[in-house]
Amino acid sequence: MKKMWMTLALLATGAMATPALAADCAITIEGNDQMQFNIKKVEVPKSCAKYTMTLKHTGKMPKSSMGHNIVLTSTADANAAAADGMKAGAGAEYVKPNDPRVIGFSTVIGGGESTTFGFDVAQLKAGTEYTYFCSFPGHSFIMRGTLQLGS
């Protein structure tokens, strides 16, 4: 079921080059110079102890003007965490230091770069919707997707 969903999601977004992973305790999401993530929904298998998210910036623009990262919070916390992240600034990867709302986050990257982070799946509650977003100033409302604990 999950595999089928992944395939559909990848087809829908045109990410044909992304290989289907057997274990699926990891995902690669692409971000571009048009401020788009190519994947908008992620289901984390509950059999995974740790889940790894990789962000690949497929654009050409530098991180100072088109920086991207991934920050994961509950959907309820996303807007407030994004606002605090913007205030925290580039030196803090646009994430408020020690923010308890943040489940995991990556560094900010520019075009051609990629970055990876992982988090403990035990932090996710079944039935709660999570949101991953880019906290670079001005990006969080466009660059976001939802994440849930799957079966």
Site residues for Zn ion per CB under 5 A: 68, 134, 136, 139, 143
Name the residue nearer to Zn ion (CB basis): 72 or 124.
Answer: 72
Name the residue nearer to Zn ion (CB basis): 32 or 103. Answer: 32
Instruction: Provide the edge-to-edge strand list for the sheet that holds 144-149.
Output: 41-44, 144-149, 130-133, 71-74, 104-105
Nearer to Zn ion, 105 or 136 (CB): 136
Residue nearest to Zn ion (CB): 134
**Closest separation in Å from C-beta 139 to Zn ion:** 4
Q: Give the shortest CB-68-to-Zn ion separation in angstroms.
A: 4
**126 within 8 A of 74, measured Cβ to Cβ:** no
In angstroms, the Cα distances linking 83 to 42, 52, 61, 78, 80 are 23, 25, 23, 9, 5
- For Zn ion, the closer of residues 117 and 136 by Cβ is 136
Cβ atoms within 10 Å of 92's Cβ, excluding its own: 15
The gap between the terminal CA atoms of the chain, to the nearest Å, is 10
CB of 116 to Zn ion, least distance (A): 16
Q: How far is the CB of 142 from Zn ion (least distance, A)?
A: 8
